[in-house]
Amino acid sequence: MAARLAEEWFAICGGCEVTILDIGEPLLDVLKQVEIVHMPVIMDHKLFGQTGENAEMEIPAADVGLISGGIRSEEHKKLALEMRKKCTILISLGSCACFGGIPALANQYSTQEMIEKVYRGSKSTESNGLPHEQIPELLDRVYAVHEVVPVDAYLPGCPTTPDMVANALVAILEGKPLPALSSKSVCDECPTKREKKAVGTLKRRYDSPDFKPGAPLSEMRCLMEQGILCLGPATRGGCGGDSVPRCIRAYMPCEGCFGPLSEKANPMVDMMGALSSIGLDPKQIPDRAATFNRFAGAGRLRPALRR
Amino acid sequence: MGMSPVQSVSAAAEAPPAETFQPLIIALCCNWCSYAGADLAGVSRIQYPPSIRMVRVMCSGMVHPNLVIEALTKGADGVLICGCHPGDCHYQEGNLKAEKRAEAIRLMLSDFGIEEERFRLEWVSAAEGPRFAQVVRDFTEQVQKLGPNPYRTQ
């Protein structure tokens, strides 16, 4: 019997859905064993019934539920509760579902401030009043899925990696336990040379590091020590499977999309410590809270304290 | 300049017992200089307020900022890091690392809504018992003026 799969998307760009497609040929084998019962991105399944006859939103029962995107509105919250009720295994797909992701950067402002800025405040906006009819109410901030309903597994990443999605789906189909997240940091898995001391000062974002074409990464210097901001020290590894983390593979700095090292970790404190420990000037980071919580804003970023 | 033990005892005795708030300060002292300095203050019987809880660390350069932030967000009224004077570090430049980190810590304290004055980095050598006592007296007074840590009442 095919496993029933439901997928729902909330505050997200849709990149994680593309990742499912990106699994490539192995997806064909997986699809034979899966029956998709609900997935707004590819199928026209109406939440209130096909003719809008129902009063409540309904999702069909499923063995596996995937949720991508953070929870921003009352509608998202209701749907998340409905998904939890109908799915045996619920998985957070992508960094937005796991930690709020990019939309959660708005958690630095109150919902009111954000609406003012978006619909009235910005210079390029011609204000026609605030949208208010037939749209779900916004919550006070962006929530990660597990802050609203219990989640069985996390597949972080922005977007998440095709291998991780495939492994998780295969594990479920074979009745095996879901693969656990890596407990190592990106730095633990990074092969570049570290001397614990920075050469020079922090560079601008797209300045180039010293690069030897053709040389292996183990002969090149740590990006952060060359003054290129890399979130490796405060970011969970595992994005490259058993090998080198994905961005490092291209000798690009880690952006932090796999989220903090633990539920309680504060990436800003870890990163400020890491920067200053190798002798870089932490004052040069223009917006440290947002820069270091780029993908982990749910529960970590909050409106600035006013004393 | 340190005071002699006798002077400091009388100074403490004359201090008005006006403040009832007794702050709780975490002092992280390096094994090679400051802890020995604190030891000297002890064996010299120099009096200082009983506000500090001392943690011996191998070097001030091993105190990661998250330890300081954690202490302060969990209710300590102040954090004091003491290390060797610059150039005297047992590990060559651990204290310089501590100084760099102190800058990051001060920046972050404002993000957490904590007064910058609740954190201090001081250099105390093994011979500076009186100075250690003076640093603790000054810092305790400073934290007393600020009142209890806002996180403690939450």
pLDDT tens digits, B73-103: 999 999 999 999 999 999 999 999 999 999 9
Query: Which residue does chain A place closest to B113, by CA atoms?
Result: A305
CA-based nearest residue to A48, from A151, A130, A134:
A134
Asked if B74 is an interface residue toward chain A (Cβ–Cβ < 8 A), one would say no
Judged by a CB distance cut-off of 8 A, whether residue B16 touches chain A is: no
Contact A272 B64 (CB under 8 A): no
Identity at B69, one-letter amino acid code: I
pLDDT, tens only, A253-269: 999 999 999 988 999 99
Q: ipTM of this complex > 0.90?
A: no
Q: Are B21 and B144 in contact (CB under 8 A)?
A: yes
pLDDT tens-digit series, residues A93-148: 999 999 999 999 999 999 999 988 888 888 888 877 787 888 899 999 999 999 99
Give dist(CA A178, CA B141) in Å, integer: 55
Strand A71-73 to strand A34-38: parallel, antiparallel, or no bridges (unpaired)?
A: unpaired
Q: How far apart are CA A199 and CA A278, in angstroms?
A: 9
pTM for the complete prediction? 0.86
Determine the residue of chain A that is closest to B97 in CA distance: A277
- Considering only A49-53, A68-72, A102-106, which range has the smallest mean pLDDT? A49-53
User: Could you tell me what percent of chain B has a pLDDT over 70?
Assistant: 86
Is A279 close to B100, i.e. CB distance below 8 A? yes
**DSSP H stretches of helix in A64-185:** 74-86, 95-99, 111-116, 145-148, 162-173
| A291, A294, A299, A305 alpha-carbon torsion, rounded to 10° | 30
Tokens standing for residue A70: 């953070």
Where does residue A133 rank: exposed (0-12), middle (13-18), buried (19+ CB within 10 A)?
A: exposed
Q: Hey, is A297 helix, strand or coil?
A: coil
Give the C-alpha separation, A61 to A77, whole Å.
Answer: 18
Angle separating helix axes B129-146 and B5-14, nearest 10 degrees: 20
Q: Do B104 and A275 touch (CB under 8 A)?
A: yes
Residue B2 reports pLDDT greater than 50: no
Chain B contacts in chain A segment 260-299 (CB below 8 A): 266, 268-270, 272-273, 275-277, 279, 281-283, 288-289
Between CA B134 and CA B38 the distance in angstroms is: 11
CA distance A120 to chain B (A): 28
Residue B8 has pLDDT above 90, yes or no: no
Select from A268, A277, A305 the Cβ nearest to the Cβ of B108. A268
Q: How many helices (H) and strands (E) does chain B have?
A: 6, 4
| Maximal CA-CA distance, chain A | 66
Cβ A277–B111 below 8 Å, yes or no?
A: no
